[in-house]
Amino acid sequence: MSYENWKDKISTFELMDVRGKKMDFFPALKVKAAALKNGEGLHIIQTFEPVPLYPVLALMGFERHTEKVSSSEYHVWFYRVRKGV
């Protein structure tokens, strides 16, 4: 599956805007991601491209689409296509 197949669903994704957050948001993200069903997703906004999240969420069964809005704003949509580990 590709972004083209699920882009019409991104408005329903839960938003996590973590720009400027001092604490580590990864534990909360992992809990939210684990609770999602196939066909659901998360929208992350960060000040940098969150590359370390990509392999972790891929193992959990997510595809992703990334857009660079500016040098300090990235939007990443993670869409669950299957239950992973």
| 43-73 tens-digit pLDDT | 999 999 999 999 999 999 999 999 999 999 9
Q: What pLDDT is recorded for position 62?
A: 97
Of 58, 67, 79, residue with least CA distance to 2: 79
Average pLDDT, the chain: 94
Fold that domain 3-80 belongs to in CATH:
Translation Initiation Factor IF3 (3.30.110)
Q: What gap in Å lies between CA 60 and CA 70, rounded to an integer?
A: 28
Q: Would you list the domain boundaries of the chain? A: 3-80
Q: What gap in Å lies between CA 29 and CA 7, rounded to an integer?
A: 21
State mean pLDDT over 17-44: 92
Q: What pLDDT is recorded for position 21?
A: 81
Helix (H) / strand (E) containing 66: strand 62-70
Burial 30-47 (b: 16+ CB within 10 A, else e): eeebeebeeebbbbbebe
